Amino acid sequence: MLSRVRDVVRRHGLRGVAHLAVDRVGPRQRVAAVYVWYAIDLERADRPQNPLPEGFVVREATIADVASMQQMTSAHTVTITEEVMRERVLNGVKPWLAISDDGRVAGLSWVFTRSLPLRGRYELVLPDDVAGFEDTVTSREMRGRGIAPGLLTQLGDILPRDGVRAIVTRIDVDNAASHRAVQKLGFEECARMRVVTRDWRTIVQMVVPPGDRSYAWMTGQVERTRSPNPLGRALRRATTRRDAASGSEPPRER
């Protein structure tokens, strides 16, 4: 054993051995997911319109819709249970549905205001006039018929009544159908997000490309605020909002 150690030291030197040791036991980093963030300015005059198929309507979901919403499963979205629905609605998150001409739930999208959950304890704090679409899903048998674009188009008309001027949404870099669906609506890439696991920790990194700085606020608004202490969380959010109000560019300037 001792002779093996002596051999390794001779080959790599003391410093080399130290490096090898750090490599063996030091932090391990892995990119767990990459997301593309998209944004749209709802006040844009040339915002593309993608109407729902004839006879389809949009309405807010109620607790009575949970069973239908539960059927809308996908690898990219959370499965809706009564508990998820109640928790989200209590936090001001609104579920919206596209209903088919024969009364079935065809599409679902959640509208987040104030903040969007990211990963682990991270969330994106949203300015007052920005909402986020999350967990958008079309029922399997209705995909490819423009349901999601139709639902999101209509929400783009409904949300400004509550002062929303821009919408952001994130899509897994490999989710081709989703990229296509939002690009048809005029959403443009505004940031990239990496979820990195380093040993047992999860780290969220947001990068806004150089050039258009309209969404530069996104990097400053990623927070580890999901603390078990709700008071601390509320205080941090209030402080961030004050900073955002005094410092960052409003997103409508796109």
**For binding to ligand COA (CB under 6 A), which residues are involved?**
74, 76-77, 136-138, 143-149, 171, 175-178, 180-181
Q: Rounded to the nearest whole angstrom, what is the least distance from the CB of residue 149 to ligand COA in the complex?
A: 5
Q: Rounded to the nearest whole angstrom, what is the least distance from the CB of residue 143 to ligand COA in the complex?
A: 4
- Judged by beta carbon, residue 176 or residue 207, the one nearer ligand COA is 176
- Judged by beta carbon, residue 55 or residue 210, the one nearer ligand COA is 55
Q: Rounded to the nearest whole angstrom, what is the least distance from the CB of residue 165 to ligand COA in the complex?
A: 22
Question: DSSP letters of the chain?
Answer: -HHHHHHHHHHHHHHHHHHHHHHHHS--EEEEEEEEEEEEETT-TT----PPPTT-EEEE--GGGHHHHHT---TTSPPP-HHHHHHHHHTT-EEEEEE-TTS-EEEEEEEE-SEEE-STTEEEEPPTTEEEEEEEEE-GGGTTSSHHHHHHHHHHHHGGGGT--EEEEEEETT-HHHHHHHHHTT-EEEEEEEEEEETTEEEEEEEPPSS--TTTHHHHTEEE---S-HHHHHHHHHHHHHHHHHHSPPGGG-
- Judged by beta carbon, residue 167 or residue 244, the one nearer ligand COA is 167
Q: Rounded to the nearest whole angstrom, what is the least distance from the CB of residue 47 to ligand COA in the complex?
A: 16
- Judged by beta carbon, residue 93 or residue 244, the one nearer ligand COA is 93
Q: Rounded to the nearest whole angstrom, what is the least distance from the CB of residue 191 to ligand COA in the complex?
A: 15
- Judged by beta carbon, residue 100 or residue 136, the one nearer ligand COA is 136
